[in-house]
A and B are shown apart, each in its own frame.
Chain A
Amino acid sequence: EAGVAQSPRYKIIEKRQSVAFWCNPISGHATLYWYQQILGQGPKLLIQFQNNGVVDDSQLPKDRFSAERLKGVDSTLKIQPAKLEDSAVYLCASSFYKGQGAYEQYFGPGTRLTVT
């Protein structure tokens, strides 16, 4: 079974530029998540999709971040314009229902973004 795919793996941009990340979840996983992991911290959820609908985007800085999940499969996360504090690893995860109300998340390798 193929894992969660993300691209690019690394990206360096200047502040005020825009950038986009792509994620392809594990086949059949209805739920998709984007996390931001700043150096020295645990991942923080940015947005959660169930199929192509948003479940939780309460921690997404909507003035500069946007995300979509067309057709309930692939997803893109965009930052425009980028700030220095956006330097982080952006992780995509997908999950399926395990029963008993529980979901198990599988993570992609992440995209390391450096904003200069």
Chain B
Amino acid sequence: AQSVTQPDIHITVSEGASLELRCNYSYGATPYLFWYVQSPGQGLQLLLKYFSGDTLVQGIKGFEAEFKRSQSSFNLRKPSVHWSDAAEYFCAVGSGYSTLTFGKGTMLLVSP
């Protein structure tokens, strides 16, 4: 069965500092990996995805993520966090028709 672990429930980062959110997955085949962001009262917005090819993927809002097969990880990074990045971030794994399995999310707090 596929699963996603986001080990950090909350993370606080100072505005302008760099960010890394961790994601580890378990999946029997080649995974398709996603990061979504959810602001309060909103649905999920796709930040980026990995299907194949280059293991470093670029997304919207200056985010990037790196797929590391040997570590079963897909960590999300941003070099300089803005106050508007405060939200909840979800990592998900899926493949083809199969449904997405989400992690429990990491709440990002941005301090001034």
Contact = CB atoms under 8 A, between A and B. Distances in A.
Interface of A: 4, 31, 33, 40-45, 48, 50, 55-56, 91, 93, 98, 100-110, 112
Contacts of B4: 42
B63 interface: no
Interface of B: 4, 32, 34, 36, 41-46, 49, 51-52, 90, 92, 94-97, 99-100, 102-105
Top 5 A-B residue pairs of the complex, sorted by shortest distance between their CB atoms: A42-B102, A107-B43, A101-B96, A107-B44, A45-B99
Main secondary structure of the interface of A (DSSP, over half): strand
Nearest to A98: B51
Given A56-B99, A109-B42, 6 more contacts: A42-B90, A50-B97, A55-B97, A107-B43, A109-B41, A109-B43
Nearest to A4: B43
A98 B96 CA distance: 9
B103 A101 contact: no
Contact of A45 (B42, B44, B96, B100): B100
14 contacts: A43-B90, A43-B100, A43-B102, A45-B100, A91-B44, A100-B52, A101-B95, A101-B96, A102-B95, A102-B96, A103-B94, A105-B46, A110-B42, A110-B43
Contacts of B102: 42-44
Contacts of B97: 31, 50, 55, 103
